[in-house]
Structure 1
Amino acid sequence: MSNLEGRRPVAPQRSALARVTSEVRQAPLLALIVFVPVVVLLERVSPDAHTLLFLLSVVAIVPLAALLSRATEAVATRTGDAVGGLLNATLGNLTELVISLAALQAGQYLLVKASLAGAIVTNTLFMLGGAFLFGGLKHHVQEFNRVNARFQACLLFLATIAILVPSLISEVDQAPAAGFSQQLSLGLAILLIAVYALGMLFSLKTHKELFVSVGHADAHESSWPLSVSVAVLIVVTLLVALVSEIFVGSVQVAAEHLGMTPAFVGFIVVALVGGAAEMTTAFSAARGNRLDLSVGIALGSAAQIALFVAPILVLVSYFVGPQPMSLQFWPGAVTMMLVATMAATLLSNGGRGAWYMGVMALAVYAIFGLTLFLLPPAAPT
């Protein structure tokens, strides 16, 4: 008996990596991981094959998003959904940041602003709506912490107002001097970053008890060890950044060949590809009855883009871009961001989710996508 008892702890330790391997083999999408080295090699051998590189990079991001999703879920089971949602939003937005930095360096400000606005709208409508839909198809009614949802929606509304002001200034009867918009954007960027930092302090430190999950997650048979999850997060994040850089280098020429405008590419294509990792996690968490994590990822990611990523790009543009970038967006983008913010506030106000709520959010997103495809907005003057 003593020998048998002495062997009992060995099995869990031995099966730690075996569990990871088993779960990887059970995910069919991970077979697409072979496209990661393929797209990297193709970019070295034939850098002018932009359309092929564009399509292959989109395919290569899918398995990376699946791995990032699974690793983040494993970390979230130990840190809580609030921290897990923030972690996933941060890592997921890294793709957006890489894409925007590459476009910024090339002076493609329309693509940068379109991708920022599109990411905000995509997260608040497509990702949140998809989470409600996929979760509601499996669970009749789901609950989530509406305090967290309201908090993220308020941050998003504040950021939208900050973006609205420079855009409205350009429409007044007597337009201000050319440098005024850049000076205003610089001040607003610093203000938004400070507000975001204080918001993280509020939600993760001083009032973290208000953001505790209220949903009941489905039981999981196994979970990745924390060390393995962190290692996967680091490696996959680096690979996502590498593939995203290739994606940026080919997206413009490929868009012309495929008949898509820069505004549609930035608002829809780049936003969907950049948010693939977050969407995978959000949809999977909703199916597992962890709608708190889904809502935290969707609204938290949108708020992070508006309050942190966009201001950082304004600051970086002074050193990287041909000229400083402002927070002045075209009126259509501002309108869509305002509508998306109001829709997210209304959908998350009750603290309960059902599949038809997802249908309504996705319908609004489809309206925006169809409008941009048929009538792309003009670049702001």
Structure 2
Amino acid sequence: MTQLFGKIRTTPLLWLLVFVPVVLAVEASRPGAHTLLFLLSVAAIVPLAALLSLATESVAEKTGDAAGGLINATLGNLTELVIAVTALAAGQYALVKASIAGAIVTNALFMLGASFLLGGLRHHVQDFNRVGARFQASLLFIATVALLVPSAVLAADKVSDAAAIQTLSLMLAVLLIGGYVLGLVFSLGTHKEAFSSAGHEDHGESLPIGIALVTLAAVTVLVALVSHIFVASVEVAGEALGLSPAFVGFIVVSLVGGAAEFASAFSAARKDRLDLSVSIALGSAVQIALFVGPVLVLLSYVIGPSPMGLDFWPGAVVMMLIAAISAAMLTNGGQSTWFLGVVVLMVYAIFGLTLYVLPPVSP
């Protein structure tokens, strides 16, 4: 613990952790101060993300980048799962679906592109494990296809049988979760040698594995609590700023909810550990598509006012498909430069601008 406190004392960004108890106290005493809560929650999430990044890198030093990326993606997506479950229980299915689609696109494009850019600005050319990246990209494409099927059937065949669509969504949810579990067995078990890192150096002193795991668990809980406050306040702020629910769920919630993963991926890329960055980015997108989304469908039968399907509005369908195809194409070569990151970020910016200017009528 002394080593952890030492890092907090010597890292100015981590001094912002003081905002964590402040935002929790303000939420308890002044729950109606939405603008203040919004600002405080953002100020609290940033240092929590940095601390989670530090702990994740320490775990990755001991487990390898493939497992380290899985751990980071799981803990990062736990925050988004808590946010989505809260909205699910309130029957805000539009926000839930927007956050699912947004998390897939944000992780596959924004996180991956920014990692390429930040790493490329320090290193001329960076290499990463092409086999692992292609595996994750293939899983993402297959999962995206499964998520698009109910929407495509509704649009193309003009199916009006809501019960049939819901039955299909339930069957697909079970199928996707099974595929995700088998993918873990393949990448971390039977063929784990194919997913070893392209090579990296030991960059600095890491935390002991026990302290790192405890830190991961504690910070994840705090991030979930602060993110919940953020979402509750950002909806009111979004209405005041003229932001549609689709934009709030697709862009704002995804960016803030993924702050911890971003910090880990960006830090790893700057240290020439692009394997870890790619594993976090694509692994998180795959986990949302194959596990988090389907789990939310199953949970809707228990905590939701009615079952939720896997049908999305047409714009989300197009964006998720383009993101999956882009990720597959960009990771096929096993190398990256800073300009490749710029290109990916441009695609994400196009999506964000389109949602802001042309919000969907009924997401």
TM-score by length of 1: 0.93
Letter in 1 for 2:231: V
- Could you tell me how far apart the structure 2 residues matched to 1:318 and 1:173 are? 26
Deviations 1:50-87 (A, max 9, x none): 22212211221111111000000000000000000000
Provide the C-alpha distance between the structure 2 equivalents of 1:174 and 1:212, rounded to a whole number of angstroms: 46
Kindly state the Cα deviation for residue 361 of structure 1 after the two structures are TM-superposed. 0.3
User: Partner of 1:152 in structure 2?
Assistant: 136
Matched, 1:369 2:345: no
Deviation at 1:324, TM superposition (A): 0.7
2:316 is the alignment partner of 1:319: no
Whether the 8 Å contact between 2:297 and 2:308 is mirrored in structure 1 is yes
CA–CA distance in structure 1, aligned partners of residues 345 and 156 of structure 2: 34
| Counterparts of 1:55 and 1:258, CA distance in 2 | 14
| CA distances 1:108-154 after superposition (whole Å, capped 9, x unpaired) | 11111111111111101100001000000111111110111011011
Q: Percent identity?
A: 66
1:152-189: CA deviation from partner (whole Å, max 9, x where unpaired): 01111011111111001111344241211111000000
CA distance in structure 2 between the aligned counterparts of 1:46 and 1:20, rounded to whole angstroms: 32
Q: Pick the aligned partner of 1:194 from 170, 174, 178.
A: 178
Deviates more, 1:252-261 or 1:33-42: 252-261
1:62 aligns to what? 46
Alignment gaps of 5+ in structure 2: none
Aligned mates of 2:141, 2:128 — CA distance in 1? 20
Partner of residue 74, structure 1: 58
Question: Is the 2:297–2:309 contact (alpha carbons within 8 Å) kept by the matching residues of 1?
Answer: yes
Letter in 1 for 2:233: S
Unaligned runs of 5+ in 1: 1-16
Deviations 1:12-49 (A, max 9, x none): xxxxx443333222322112111111111111111111
Partners of 1:59 and 1:328 in 2: how far apart?
Answer: 35
- Secondary structure of 1:277's match? helix
Separation in structure 2 between the aligned mates of residue 27 and residue 355 of structure 1, nearest angstrom: 27
Question: In 1, are the aligned partners of 2:8 and 2:15 still within 8 Å (CA)?
Answer: no
Is the 1:115–1:271 contact (alpha carbons within 8 Å) kept by the matching residues of 2?
A: yes
Number of residue pairs the alignment of both structures matches: 363
Asked if 1:167 corresponds to 2:147, the answer is no
Map 1:102-117 onto structure 2 (within 5 A).
Answer: 102-117=86-101
2:231 maps to 1:248: yes
Which SS does the other structure have where 1:47 is aligned?
Answer: coil
Q: Please, what is the CA RMSD of the aligned residues?
A: 1.1
Partner of 1:228: 211
* Counterpart amino acid of residue 77 in structure 1: E
Partner of 1:9: none
Give 3-state SS (helix, strand or coil) of 1:172's partner. Answer: helix
Which among 110, 117, 131 is matched to residue 126 of structure 1? 110
The alpha carbon displacement at 1:242 in A equals 1.2
- Which residue in the other structure is 2:341 paired with? 358
Which residues in structure 2 correspond to 1:203-218 (within 5 Å)? 203-217=187-201
Cα deviation, residue 353, structure 1: 1.1
Query: How does 1:90-105 map onto structure 2 within 5 Å?
Result: 90-105=74-89
Distance (whole Å) between structure 1 residues aligned to residue 158 and residue 268 of structure 2: 50
What is residue 27 of structure 2 aligned with on the other side? 43
Q: CA deviation at 1:231?
A: 1.3
Give, in whole Å, the separation in 1 of the partners of 2:10 and 2:347: 35
The letter of the residue matching 1:369 is G
**Cα offset for 1:249?**
2.2
Q: How far 1:248 sits from its partner (Å)?
A: 2.6
2:328 is the counterpart of 1:345: yes
The CA deviation string for residues 334-381 of structure 1, in whole angstroms up to 9 with x for no partner, is: 10011111111111000011111100000000000011111111225x
Aligned to 1:269: 252
TM-score, with length taken from structure 2: 0.98
State the distance in 2 between where 1:60 and 1:378 align: 33
Q: Is the 8 A contact 1:215 1:289 kept in 2?
A: no
Q: Which has the larger radius of gyration?
A: 1
Aligned to 1:179: 163
The residue type equivalent to 2:361 in the other structure is A
> What is the deviation of 1:95?
1.0
Q: Provide closer, same or farther for how the CA distance between residues 206 and 44 of structure 1 changes in structure 2, counting only shifts above 3 A.
A: same
Contact 2:87 2:95 in 1 (8 A): yes
Q: SS of the counterpart of 2:219?
A: helix
- 1:310-332: CA deviation from partner (whole Å, max 9, x where unpaired): 00000000111111110000111
Indicate which of 253, 273, 280 corresponds to 1:290.
273
* Structure 1 residue 279 corresponds to structure 2 residue 262: yes
